Every structure is written in structure tokens, then in C-alpha cells.
Copies of this chain bind each other. A is one copy, B any other.
């Protein structure tokens, strides 16, 4: 038996950041383009763009910037704020996971 959790950040009932957006940003980092990232995740470009814009608006930071040149002539890369957000989200997930597992053992250890 083991505990599981989902964790996300909301504003006024709408998702600001969660697992899906983490995957999207990481795909942009890897593929160098939002269009290619969206395709890789089976999303429409429009949906991916909408998610990025919504998160940017709610956080008040830019997540993507144009990268000029390269094959296909230009794409997108993560801003330093996006990199920081990914790092912070990873730390957050890890700390909550530690807490979820520690408290589980304390409280439900008798079922182990």
C-alpha cells in the first residue's frame, strides 16, 4: 500500500501551473518550438499557446521568447523565469512527496 497525490496551483478556480504545463515547457525546451512541443504531446498549437498565455498572465511573467535562426528559421525557448518556475515546481513536488510519505508512515504504518 502506498499514498498518491496530485498537486497544482490555481487562481480563481483556474489552473495556473500543474503537471501538464510542466510537460509542455519541458517539451519546448527540448524541441525548441511550441508547435513541435504541442505536436509531441498530442495537443493543438492553439491549446498549447492558450495554456502558456494563461500561465504568463496569471503569474505576470513571460515564459517563452523567440529564438531566431536554426533550421526552419526560428522557434521558441524558455525564459529564465520559465526555467526558475520549472525548478521551483520540481522542488515543491519533492517536498510535498516527502511529507505525504512521512506522514503516511506515521499514521498508517500499521497497515504496512
Contact = CB atoms under 8 A, between A and B. Distances in A.
Interface of A: 1-11, 16, 58-60, 88, 91-92, 95-96, 99-100, 103-104, 107-108, 111
B7 A3 contact: yes
Contact of A11 (B1, B60, B92, B99): B1
Contacts of A59: 111
Given A92-B103, A107-B88, A10 B2 contact: yes
Copies of this polypeptide in the complex: 2
Contacts of A88: 107-108
21 contacts: A1-B11, A2-B10, A3-B7, A3-B8, A3-B10, A4-B8, A4-B10, A5-B8, A6-B6, A7-B100, A60-B111, A91-B107, A92-B107, A92-B108, A95-B99, A95-B103, A95-B107, A96-B99, A96-B103, A99-B99, A99-B103
